Amino acid sequence: MMQDTQENSSSYDDYTVAVVCAMTFEMSAVRYMLDREHPRLPSQEGDPNIYVLGTLSGHNVVLACLPGNQGKGCAATVATNLARTFPSIKWRFLVGIGGGVPTDKHDVRLGDVVVSMPDGQYGGVVQYDLGKDTTDDFVLKGFLWPPPPLLRSAVEMMRSDHLVSENKVDEFLSEMLQKGQRLAVYRRPPARLDVLFKADYPHAPLNPTCERCDRSKTVKRPARESEAPEIHYGLIASGDSVMKSAAKRDAAVRNVGDILCFEMEAAGLATEFPSIVIRGISDYADSHKNDGWQHYAAAAAAACTKELLAYLDPEAGFSTPAASTGTQSDRGNKPNDHSTFTKGGLLRDSYRWILDHDDFLRWRDDPESRLLWIKGDPGKGKTMLLCGIIDELKKQTANTTRLLSFFFCQATDDRLNNATAILRGLTYLLVDQERSLISHIQEKHNHAGKALFEDVNAWVALSDILTSILQDPSLPDTTLVIDALDECGTGLAQFLNLIIQLPVSSRVKWIVSSRNWPHIEEHLDIATQKVRLCLELNESSISHAVRDEHYVIGLRSLQIMSRTLQRDIYRLNDWGLPVDKVTPPDPDPLMAARYSCIHWVDHLAECKPNEQAQYDDLRDGGIIDRFLRRHYLHWLEALSILGRISEGILAMSKLNGLFQPAVENKWNACLSTLEGHGGWVKSVAFSRDGSRLASGSDDNTVKVWDAATGACISTFEGHGGSVSSVAFSRDGSRLASGSIDNTVKVWDAATGAYISTLEGHGGWVNSVAFSRDGNRLASGSFDNTVKVWDAATGACISTFEGHGSSVNSVAFSHDGSRLASGSDNNTVKVWDAATGACISTLEGHGGWVNSVAFSPDGNYLITNTGIILLPASLKNGPLPTAPQQVFDNYYCRRIGVTCLVISAPKSCRDPVTTLFRGSHTIYRAP
């Protein structure tokens, strides 16, 4: 193949996609799918792999082939060396051939492709021969990484597109065959050579082919309309030997579940790296091996890989599950499937409470209850809960005709955040389970073709199709599940109306989860026969389950390291050897302990001890103390070999925090800590009587708290972005919130009812403030403007323009005649609040002005860079451009003050200013 010498990546850091193949003809299939092949880079010392480099669907790809040996151990070694040589790898694929599992449910045929995807308790790949025999059955052991969230989302999108368009396997294969005559070996064999023998009929012994096998023992299957390969999605079984027995194949399926393919290398790769496995079917995992299909099956898998990569942005960022373990939930990364394996599996304790909950039982058992709405704040476990419900429903419907269809919305993915995508996903799964329903699609598709599902036609067409399916008299009992409906950005109201307007049927039930947004509630309130379930009432069940699982993983990690780690574990006998010169022995003693070495402290830090045994583990003489005394240096040696010594430093810092109080000595007594937001808190404000406290957060919500007890009184939801500013009206009846969604919302502070949305800014709203009489509301925005609104009607009274940069803070004077605004251009402007005229621009600030406030008597204007004495002309004339500074603004800039609060007790003549940065300090103006 011609190499491209003009456009090539010249560094190991430039390659972001890895493809591993077990055999040379598999790698060659991928190689000749490349859009361009790059010159090879110099070999790295200690890495025996030889790589092929190139571009595939816009990605810089590195190909590696196992060195003549098959199996999971060899695959893990090749992948580990590849990861060390190419540090920027984001996505990994294992591509080649496998043995298919044809069943009544899955019409898998030779030349088809199987893509690993999570199913049930497994993450896409299952090592079916690793476990132990018990009295009743064979229990599997071990943990394998599921595909990364972004790859799973790409697979689901490709799968969705194939509902209305053919896959591109044949197209890419045709392009490949034109690159050379010798590539004809990858052509598709005739369909007559695809023969499936009955499971109880073994291959005739001593015969290299099936020519002498009894053709009366074959399984009769209808001919397909097209010879184009189909793509199947689900479990791939990986083992230490080639599956050559139909009886053993079927036994493994009975023991494990819905297996689609058998192979030998995926378990080795998935033990260490999250990846996607793509296998072309070259035989049926029985004794009737068929070498004639191997090359075509490898090419089909390579073509599928090329098509899948086109759904991934070459510039997209990515973090591995190992990097995110123990951190915030994967809501932003969540794929459109029903698994939560990005955290290592679904925790049954986090959802099993709902199975006995009265509301769930009423929805399940009452024919008249057709809609279950599960609502809760971000981070309450809605997605995990629905994953558990789906798993339970799948078990219940396994041997029945019931249908189950589900869809997970994702706000950050334009392909998964609209009503049309929901319809497409729900329809696909229904038709996939009950093929007779495809007639509802064909009826419309035959008239309009592919255009039926594009652009503005898609919603109308798909809603008609789904309605028609749900009204089909032959439709069995059906459950439709939709998660995170609040993340449906386009067409949400249309979809809610569709749910409400669908004819009532006891055969169709819905489960919908969302945040408790007012407009969702307004729509669902119209629906009859609904059941509501609030997650806040069951938060402890979920959080305890997660913490307990972290504790178990942390202890198991300590046990693994205690058994594995020792002095000079690689037998180097050279203490000065650079890490990049170290070659792991085979087998690598650190392979099984790698994850534990890096993340054991992360898991313990996420676990809050709640049992005596857990407290004992943190004491002197406990398991942590014993490990550190015996293996601390061994652990550091292992981290050094793994190139992760920096994680060790952070781990010791976290571990130190477990044994020390979380309060610094310089802090005063904390009256209360208010917890409940799912993101950073960006703004807080007290009501005038001091009884309530409002807070705005990155989780897009506003919360109102009882300032005395710390209890959350209410949560206001409705913003489409982070809430950056909150403010009470003086009488405490209303609450305003500004957001990065470019809007200001006004709420009834007592009931939480939504009053109005003020729209007009062209950028994020950074600050809001009520006038003292409550009649006006001011807002400062990233669009460099200040707007004044009628607080009662929501009408924009005036827009103040003149700042050359973002307006970070606004404040009315106490008599309401003046309005001050601080900006990123290091200035403060004072405006006539009635006319909008700029009275004065106060320059000379040493940095961004993030906060401004008037003193109650109007004599001072306080900013985060200093305190300014205002002349009497403030009330009846223009200000000088350089008013008197009475506070050391250099000190304010040096400590990095970001916001301030003015307090002026009646007994005090001068204002007291609280300046906020990392700590709180109080100053009195001179």
What pLDDT, on the 0 to 100 scale, is given for residue 288?
85
Mean pLDDT of all residues in the chain? 80
* Average pLDDT over every residue of 807-811: 92
Higher-confidence position of 426 and 353: 426
The ranges of the chain annotated as CATH 3.40.50.300 are: 326-538
What pLDDT, on the 0 to 100 scale, is given for residue 801?
92
What pLDDT, on the 0 to 100 scale, is given for residue 875?
45
Q: End-to-end distance of the chain based on CA atoms, in angstroms? A: 80
CATH of 681-924, one of 2.130.10.10, 3.40.50.1820, 2.160.10.10, 3.30.950.10: 2.130.10.10
3-class SS of residue 42: coil
- Whether domain 12-197+228-309 has CATH 3.40.50.1580: yes
What pLDDT, on the 0 to 100 scale, is given for residue 116?
94
* 335-338-342-346 Cα dihedral, nearest 10 degrees: 160
What pLDDT, on the 0 to 100 scale, is given for residue 132?
63
| Cβ contacts of 135 within 8 Å, gap of 6 or more | none
Q: Distance between CA 139 and CA 129 in Å, rounded?
A: 10
What pLDDT, on the 0 to 100 scale, is given for residue 532?
65
Kindly report, residue by residue over 78-136, the tens digit of the pLDDT: 998 998 899 889 899 999 999 999 988 889 999 999 999 988 778 889 888 776 666 56
Higher-confidence position of 84 and 324: 84
Kindly report, residue by residue over 134-147, the tens digit of the pLDDT: 656 666 665 577 78
> Would the pLDDT of 325 be above 60?
no
> Would the pLDDT of 917 be above 60?
no
The ranges of the chain annotated as CATH 2.130.10.10 are: 681-924
> Would the pLDDT of 295 be above 90?
yes
Q: Distance between CA 44 and CA 529 in Å, rounded?
A: 66
> Would the pLDDT of 457 be above 80?
no
What pLDDT, on the 0 to 100 scale, is given for residue 668?
52
- pLDDT band for position 367 (50/70/90)? confident
Higher-confidence position of 499 and 725: 725
E strand or H helix that includes residue 740: none
Candidates 239, 241, 231; CA nearest to 140 is 239
- HSE-CB of 45 using CA atoms within 13 angstroms: 5
| Cβ contacts of 826 within 8 Å, gap of 6 or more | 843, 844, 845, 846, 847, 848, 849
Q: Distance between CA 425 and CA 405 in Å, rounded?
A: 8
Kindly report, residue by residue over 828-858, the tens digit of the pLDDT: 899 999 888 998 888 766 678 888 888 877 7
What pLDDT, on the 0 to 100 scale, is given for residue 424?
87
Kindly report, residue by residue over 676-712, the tens digit of the pLDDT: 898 888 899 999 988 899 999 988 999 999 988 888 9
> Would the pLDDT of 331 be above 60?
no
Residue 46 in tokens: 């200690």
- pLDDT band for position 452 (50/70/90)? low
Residue 457 in tokens: 């036609």
Q: Per the CATH hierarchy, to which homologous superfamily does domain 326-538 belong?
A: P-loop containing nucleotide triphosphate hydrolases (3.40.50.300)
> Would the pLDDT of 161 be above 50?
yes
Kindly report, residue by residue over 472-527, the tens digit of the pLDDT: 888 999 999 998 888 887 888 888 888 877 766 668 888 988 887 767 777 777 66
- pLDDT band for position 16 (50/70/90)? very high
- pLDDT band for position 918 (50/70/90)? very low
746 in Cβ contact with 791 (< 8 Å): yes
867 in Cβ contact with 885 (< 8 Å): yes
What pLDDT, on the 0 to 100 scale, is given for residue 905?
43
What pLDDT, on the 0 to 100 scale, is given for residue 729?
94
Higher-confidence position of 412 and 724: 724
Is 737 exposed, middle or buried (CB count within 10 Å of its CB: 0-12, 13-18, 19+)? buried
- pLDDT band for position 460 (50/70/90)? confident
730 in Cβ contact with 775 (< 8 Å): no
The ranges of the chain annotated as CATH 3.40.50.1580 are: 12-197+228-309
Q: How many residues does the chain have?
A: 926
